[in-house]
Structure 1
Amino acid sequence: MILVTGGAGFIGGNFILDWLAQSNEPVINLDKLTYAGNLDTLKSLKDDARHVFVRGDIGDRELLAKLLAEHKPRAVINFAAESHVDRSIHGPGEFIQTNVGGTFNLLEAVRGYWNALPPDRNTAFRFLHVSTDEVYGSLGPDDHPFTEENNFEPNSPYSASKAASDHLVRAWHHTYGLPVLTTNCSNNYGPYHFPEKLIPLVILNALNGKPLPIYGDGMQIRDWLYVKDHCSAIRRVLEAGKPGETYNVGGWNEKPNIDVVKTICSILDELKPRADGKPYVEQITYVTDRPGHDRRYAIDASKLERELGWKPAETFETGIRKTVEWYLANQDWVQNVTSGAYREWVSKQYGSRE
């Protein structure tokens, strides 16, 4: 059995769905169900005994100790995090509480559990911490992509809180011997993505005839990683990663934001043309850039390929088409997550920038 935290979120939910599609090993899913946690993502597992959902916070040490003692997982995979840069700018406190304080409490609960395991299970146990490339800061246009040796230079409250959590995980390995693994991924996209992030926001706004908001000049560059590829990388790191090591996970797909948006528009023109026959690119609207917006992220994932034999299965072209097709085919899921609170957030974030 494994314990997954944040398993009702975008990446965690995809991970659990993929895990149970390929394995009969049960999953305990601990999620606080904040605005981005959505059990609709896991609806197909409603009557599946292999999936046990528990609503709770990684900051709740007593609950964590109880779950660990009761279910005795062989591994803990930590997806639980506040993860949206814009939200961290408006309200950094929740990010510090969850990403730093929550990770600390999780590490301490896991350390107590791990220390009490019999020798064979103690040796086999793993704690895998899922993090982001944003801890490394921003790259210049000609800089080499981030490797695992790059210094941490976070530029937002979100990335600073994730950098702090990464440091805690490293320290618990070097100080206490906890067998940890850390992955730092690039920008994920794909099914079940909460539509505050660029790709699902653009798809949703395009279909609803709304403006497609682009920060600044739209030339911010990101490396794009299809979420199913990320999930396969995590499985591989859990299976064969060396305790104490960090592995960068990227898609080898650097794209400026404006190109991503235009690609989505082109696919929608083909699959779901506007009623008036005009192209979706006409809905693009440039808005004032956000404070401290990093110009470029890029991941060098060669260590993961070299040492563990992993590489992404999807190109950006194949992954983005699958993503658009999924959103077109799953409008019920979209409608369920786009609550009044979500609409208020989008208005607050983008309305004043037009």
Structure 2
Amino acid sequence: MEILMKNSLPLYKQIIMDLLEQILDGELRPGDRVPSEHELSSSYRVSSITSKNALTELAEKGYIIRIKGKGSFVNSAEALLNIPDFTHTLQQRIVMKAKTIGLIVPSMKTTIDQQLLNAVEMELAPTEYILAISITRESQQLESASIQKFRESGVSGLIIFPTEHEMYNEEILKLNLSDFPFVLVDRYLRGIRSSCIYTDNYDISKLATLHLLEQGCRHVAFLSPDSHNTVTSDRINGFQDGLYEQGMTVLPENLCMIPLSVTDPAEKESLILQYLKSHPGIDGLFCVNREMAKYAAHLMTIHQLWNRYRIAAFDYPDDHRISYISQDIGQIAHNCVLELIDSIQNGRKDHHIVVPARLVPAHT
């Protein structure tokens, strides 16, 4: 028996949920013997009182019957269908499990989030699957809860866009260990085997850095939140290697990393301005994402600095004076859906698929 511990629940509730999942999935059928108190205590490494409480509650709610001297057994199908919670959950699972893919995203605020949702929906439209969505609001706790909820609902597979600063998630590791079909989008998580679909962050960051140098920049700064996820790491490596290739030394002062503890946009913008003032030699900015580009563009405008700096940025086509990197969200979504459906139907392969991006030069 696979044990998926719901850490926020009392131990006896965890046992109840696992036994109910087995009944709902048909692993335990009406009339089947349910593991005894002793067997549950051994499997879950809990006291006999805990396992007894679990079986007692299942019996009180009508899921099982207990026969003295014989054991506990799943109640009849007729009795189970008379339990409102059981009937509702069963119907929900039948619908969800048959043809549903869950999409877990950190927000719906950015253009990338919105483009990804639209593209995934378009890719799924001609298939037999429907889409269910959960927004985590950049909370790893909510992400874990979404994974648990989708699994309990019986979805066929998951597309997960991890939270921005995520390095590791135990629930994703559990998906891995149980061979549940899932795909990570936008990034990979070190140490977790999975299929991942993401932009070629290293190569395009190196190309954008070389582009700034070709435009005459001699001291380029990397502007980013102080995150250590694989997206930021790959982009920093591309940036640094672009400088190295031109014989330039990469110094700590080339990195302007905004602390994650700073959440106020005005404060972030103020920190960037302080950095520029304290490093007057900087003449180029590489912005790791749209947010950083937005702050930089605003500073250039209000302080009349456009003639002093060249800027390259991810996902910022809003200003013709900024060279921007265009990610192929449509291709990423296409690969996500193909990879996940293949995993659902034929078993997981755990591929890393890297999608090229395009650099659009500024028009000065």
Whether these two folds match at TM > 0.5 is no
TM-score computed with the length of structure 2 as normaliser = 0.35
TM-score computed with the length of structure 1 as normaliser = 0.36
* Bigger relative contact order, structure 1 or 2 (CA pairs below 8 A, ≥6 apart): 1
